[in-house]
Amino acid sequence: MKYFTKEWYEEAQIRSFLIFHETKKDWEDDIAWYESEGLNFKEICKQNLENKRADLLKYLPAFFHPYIQDGTLNSQFPSEELRKMAEQWRLEYDERTKSKGVTYRNYYDFIKRSLPENVIQLFEKSLHDARVTSIEMPLKDTFIMTLDCRGGYHYLTDVKLTFTGVGNLQPKNLSVGSSWLYDEVYLTETGFELSVLLEGPLMEFTISAENVKIEVIS
C-alpha cells in the first residue's frame, strides 16, 4: 500500500482551504492589505476556489459543498457552523495522516536490516525539493537519474543515482524538471521498490531494482 500518492497530496492541499482567520478584524485587515496593494481580493478568492473546485468537491464531505458552490468557503468570514465543521475535518484528516505515517515507519524499521546500505541512505537522506535534471537508460536493467539538490536538505549539490538490476519502471517518460516531493521504499524478493511522488507535473514514479549507487557530483 502506497502512502504518498497523488490523492494524498491533493487532499493535503485542500486542508489549507479550511484554515480560517481567527477574528473578524484579522479578516478585515487582510482584505485591507490586498486593497492597499491594488489587488482585487474577491477575484483572487474566486480564482483560488476555481483552481481547487474539483478537488474540494472530491475530498470534502457533502455538507461543505454548498459553501464551495456559492463561493463563500473562502470569500466570507466563516460562520461558526463552518468553522466547527472545518476544525472537525482537519482533526480527522490529521489523525488519518499521522496513523498512516506511523504504520509506514513501523514497516520501514522492520525491513531496514534487509535493505542494501545505499537504499537506506537514499531513503534517510531526504531528496525532498531536489530537481530532476537528466534521466537515461543506457542498458535494459540500468536507470540513471541526476538531481540538483541545492534546494534540498542534504547533499546541496548535484547527485547521480544509478539503479541497477531494474525490473519495473513506471512511468518511463519521467519529466526532466520535476521536483522530488516524498518517497517510500519497500522490500522485494530481488531488492527493493522505490515509490516517489513528484511535482511538475504531479505524478507517482515507481522503480524496482536490486541496488542503487549514489554519487555526489561536486
Rounded to whole angstroms, the Cα distance separating 148 from 132 reads 6
Rounded to whole angstroms, the Cα distance separating 188 from 151 reads 31
Could you read off the pLDDT of 4-61 as tens digits, one per residue? 899 999 999 999 889 999 999 999 999 999 999 999 999 999 999 999 999 999 999 9
First-residue to last-residue Cα distance in the chain: 37
Cell numbers that stand for 19 in this block:
484554515
Neighbours of 169 (CB within 10 A): 16
Rounded to whole angstroms, the Cα distance separating 153 from 210 reads 26
Contact between 183 and 4 under an 8 Å Cβ cutoff? The reply is: yes
Could you read off the pLDDT of 140-178 as tens digits, one per residue? 999 999 999 998 888 999 999 999 999 999 998 788 999
Cell numbers that stand for 183 in this block:
518517497
Report pLDDT for 16.
Answer: 86
Cell numbers that stand for 197 in this block:
511522488
**How large is the C-alpha radius of gyration of the chain?**
21
Report pLDDT for 179.
Answer: 95
Could you read off the pLDDT of 72-117 as tens digits, one per residue? 999 999 999 999 999 999 999 999 999 999 999 999 999 999 999 9
Phi, psi (deg, nearest 5) at residue 84: -65, -40
Rounded to whole angstroms, the Cα distance separating 211 from 116 reads 7
Rounded to whole angstroms, the Cα distance separating 188 from 193 reads 7
Domain boundary assignment for the chain:
6-110, 116-217
Rounded to whole angstroms, the Cα distance separating 91 from 17 reads 14
In this prediction the pTM is 0.86
